[in-house]
């Protein structure tokens, strides 16, 4: 059920809850009750068959007014329950939308964290390559220094540089190697560790968001099932109501029979009392 449909149903239900008919029926019942109270007092003062009939009629009007009031009140109570269910469904839909947005945000953060982890790893790879290059330079400079030293001592072939110059090349290579080992590599490893930690947290957030989506889906399904069950119950009650309308309401017949016979009994009692007072 779409949000628009749920909102429309909620507005219709609120209209029932705020029905102006409630005040009218309450006023009608209050008026009928006052009339009944008046008839009861009048009947006490003037216990005649006519007053008994008036009291019975007032009693029946009061009962009908109360019945109408209770019927509307029942509809309002049912509407309040429906309003609560619809509000929960709307809220669950909003919760689902929020969960989906949270998942998208978490997934984006996970992608960013993955890229950061890959960049950190690529940085370490580049540093290791630079370290390997400097080691090769150091090896070459060491060999060149050895050859230059031998040449200066008169041994071996003459080389194009001096032992001192080759030594400087070796020192520079060793300095770079030390810098890479002591500074660049630890810093790169720290970035990798931080990136991996962030990636783990992002993965947890994504999984938590997925769980919230599943929970929101389950809540929506549970509410939809509850509403469907209520709709089925309404159909059953409507079916019984149609049968009562077709074949009669036994309960109402009994109530009417009781009121009529109570009235007849009161009239007969008044007649017997009047005869007794006349000495017949």
Could you give all domains of the chain from N- to C-terminal order, each with its CATH number?
Answer: 3-247 (1.10.287)
71-85, 156-170, 223-237: range with lowest mean pLDDT: 223-237
Angle subtended at Cα 218 by Cα 216 and Cα 222, rounded to the nearest 5 degrees: 120
What is the model's pLDDT at position 45?
A: 84
What is the model's pLDDT at position 53?
A: 86
Q: Residue 82 in contact with residue 13, Cβ under 8 Å? A: yes
Q: What confidence tens digit (pLDDT) does each residue in 24-83 have?
A: 988 998 999 998 898 888 888 878 888 888 888 888 888 998 898 888 888 888 888 888
Q: What confidence tens digit (pLDDT) does each residue in 110-159 have?
A: 888 889 999 999 999 999 999 999 999 999 889 888 888 877 777 766 77
Q: What is the pTM of this model?
A: 0.47
Which is more confidently placed, 232 or 101? 101
Rounded to an integer, what distance in angstroms lies between the CA atom of residue 108 and that of residue 4?
A: 30
Mean pLDDT of 236-263: 53
What are the structure tokens assigned to 154, written together? 């008169």
């Amino acid at each position: 059920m779409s949000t628009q449909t749920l909102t429309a149903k909620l507005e219709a239900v609120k209209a029932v809850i705020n029905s102006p008919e409630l005040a009218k029926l309450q006023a009608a019942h209050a008026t009928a009750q006052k009339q009944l109270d008046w008839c009861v007092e009048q009947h006490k003062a003037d216990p005649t068959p006519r007053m008994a009939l008036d009291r019975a009629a007032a009693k029946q009007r009061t009962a009908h007014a109360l019945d109408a009031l209770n019927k509307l009140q029942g509809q309002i109570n049912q509407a309040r329950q429906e309003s609560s269910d619809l509000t929960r469904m709307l809220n669950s839909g909003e919760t689902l939308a929020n969960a989906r947005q949270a998942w998208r945000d978490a997934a984006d953060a996970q992608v960013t964290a993955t890229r950061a982890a890959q960049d950190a790893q690529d940085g370490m790879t580049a540093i290791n390559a630079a370290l390997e290059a400097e080691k090769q330079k150091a090896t070459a400079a060491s060999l060149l220094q050895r050859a230059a030293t031998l040449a200066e001592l008169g041994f071996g072939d003459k080389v194009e540089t001096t032992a001192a110059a080759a030594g400087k090349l070796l020192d520079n290579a060793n300095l770079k190697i030390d810098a890479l080992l002591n500074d660049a590599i630890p810093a790169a490893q720290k970035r990798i560790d931080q990136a991996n930690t962030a990636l783990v947290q992002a993965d947890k957030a994504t999984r938590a968001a997925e769980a919230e989506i599943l929970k929101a889906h389950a809540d929506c399904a549970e509410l939809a099932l509850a509403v469907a069950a209520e709709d089925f119950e309404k159909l059953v009650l409507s079916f019984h109501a149609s049968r009562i309308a077709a074949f009669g309401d036994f309960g109402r017949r009994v109530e009417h029979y009781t009121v009529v016979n109570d009235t007849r009994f009161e009239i007969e009692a008044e007649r017997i009392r009047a005869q007794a007072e006349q000495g017949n």
